[in-house]
Amino acid sequence: MISELFKRVEFYLDARQNKEIFIYPGLNLGAEHSNVHTQAEATVFGFWVFLMSDAIIFGMAFATYATLLQGTAGSPGPRELYHLGPIFIETLLLLTSSFTFGMASIAMKYKHPTSHLVGWLLVTLVLGVIFLGMELDDFRTMFAAGGLPTQSGFLSGFFGLVPLHGLHVTAGCIWLVCMLGQIAVHGLDSETKLGLLRLALFWHFLDIVWIFIFSVVYLGGLA
């Protein structure tokens, strides 16, 4: 109770001196959203614990892929199946969507009109959906060239890793739609803001996983 009060006072003083206080990783909402800001400390830390455990899962999928890389068993290998062009466009799509989500976070933090926030979120969603469409098209091209998950250890490793990221992006898109619904129904209340804070972290995190996918899987396979 007392410590809570002290925290509030501290925020207020720091806000008056226009110092920003950072209490969790990610874009801090700051003193202008004091209620959410204090609440977010625990919630966002918990979400980071989830993200890091998710990172471990991805890490193990990468290790499995690396282990199985040589086991093509006479079926098509990376050079026959990977195409740099679509991967490059997908990379740019995901990177741009990370930037547009950043713009959405800024619109939320500095209390721009909600339409700005919704606009940036919609752009992010569209970029995410185009990314997924292109990735599915890649898989279809691979299937047509004989790259089925059952063909070899290498392909099992590939389809254990890359679609796992795709599933995460799908989950992120569904979550984004839910957040848009929440904004439409409840407006920008504390719960919605907390959700958007966490979704932003999730989205940026998936972009980091993609760095490793295009570097290790695609560029590494075609180098």
Partner 1 sequence: MSKPVTRIPATNALMTNKRRDFMSYVWGFGLALILTLVPFALVQWQATTRGSLLIIIAVLAMVQTVVHFRFFLHLGRKRKREDLLLVLFSTSLLIIMVAGTIWIMANLAERMTPI
Residues near partner 1 (CB under 8 A):
5, 8, 11-12, 15-16, 18, 20, 22-28, 30-32, 34-35, 45, 48-49, 52-53, 55-56, 59-60, 62-64, 66-67, 70, 84, 88, 91-92, 95-96, 98-99, 102-103, 106, 109-110, 201, 204-205, 207-208, 211-212, 214-216, 219-220, 222-223
Closer to partner 1 at the Cβ: 21 or 126? 21
- In one letter, which amino acid is 93? L
Question: Residue 165 CB, nearest distance to partner 1 (Å)?
Answer: 15
Closer to partner 1 at the Cβ: 94 or 173? 94
Distance from chain centroid for Cα 182:
19
- Nearest Cα neighbor of 208 from 55, 23, 40 is 55
Closer to partner 1 at the Cβ: 184 or 215? 215
Question: Residue 200 CB, nearest distance to partner 1 (Å)?
Answer: 9
Question: Residue 179 CB, nearest distance to partner 1 (Å)?
Answer: 18
Q: Cβ-count burial of 57 within 10 angstroms (0-12 exposed, 13-18 middle, 19+ buried)?
A: exposed
The contacts of residue 203 (CB under 8 Å, 6+ apart) are 97, 98, 101, 124, 172
User: Maximum CA pair distance of the chain?
Assistant: 69
Question: Residue 155 CB, nearest distance to partner 1 (Å)?
Answer: 17
Closer to partner 1 at the Cβ: 163 or 221? 221
88-91: long-range contacts (C-beta < 8 A, 24 or more apart)? 89/134, 90/131, 90/134, 90/135, 90/138, 90/214, 91/210, 91/214
Closer to partner 1 at the Cβ: 26 or 163? 26
Token reading at 79: 């050079």
Closer to partner 1 at the Cβ: 22 or 185? 22
Question: Residue 55 CB, nearest distance to partner 1 (Å)?
Answer: 6
Token reading at 203: 């989205």
Q: How far apart are CA 220 and CA 157, in angstroms?
A: 15
Counting every residue written for the chain, the total comes to 223
Question: Residue 192 CB, nearest distance to partner 1 (Å)?
Answer: 16
